[in-house]
Amino acid sequence: MIDRTVLLQFSKDTTEEQLEEVIKRFKSLKGNLDGIVDLQAGRNISPRNQEYQVILSVRFKDEAALTAYSENLEHKAVAAYINEVGKLNSIGVDIEVE
């Protein structure tokens, strides 16, 4: 399995409502894409690294599922919305897990 974690940093002009909409749209992908074992999204609650406001975490059954997710049109629409509401930066990492 593959775990993908993404940290998102948004502009100071991005509203709380927009951040919540990012989370809602991301969570909506869970039932729509094959190969997703688990999907979580939420606000960063750590007192450290507060410049990253939203955290996304997805567990895929295999690398093929991760590739399919990256190319999926619904995923691309969520990514476009994230950019539209003021994404400044993101960090994405993948690890293999058992």
Asked if the 2-93 domain carries CATH number 1.10.3720.10, the reply is no
All structural domains of the chain with their residue ranges:
2-93
Buried b (16+ CB within 10 A) or exposed e, 58-78: bbbeeeebbebbeebeebeeb
* 10-67 pLDDT, tens digit each: 999 999 999 999 999 999 999 888 899 999 999 999 988 889 999 999 999 999 999 9
Q: Taking the complete model, does pTM exceed 0.85, yes or no?
A: yes
- Model pLDDT, residue 31: 83
- Model pLDDT, residue 27: 96
- Rounded Cα distance between 52 and 6, Å, is 10
